[in-house]
Amino acid sequence: MNDCIFCKIADHSVPSMTVYEDECTMAFMDTAKDVDGHILVIPKKHAKKR
């Protein structure tokens, strides 16, 4: 999905500070920097809302 920020982060077209990555999952530091150490974990495959 080309308008999804998380898909862009997962495919590395938007830079992020990656903490962990495997074939299905990615963990990266929150860019908002509101809370020190806040990490987001996302699936690398886009999931639609139900």
- The Cα 50–Cα 35 span in angstroms is 30
pLDDT at residue 1, as a whole number: 61
pTM of the predicted model, to two decimals?
0.82
Using H for helix, E for strand and C for coil, what is the string for the chain? CCCCHHHHHHCCCCCCCEEEECCCEEEEECCCCCCCCCEEEEECCCCCCC
1-25 confidence digits (pLDDT tens): 678 999 999 999 999 999 999 999 9
Domain boundaries, the chain: 5-43
Closest CA to 19 of 48, 39, 33: 39
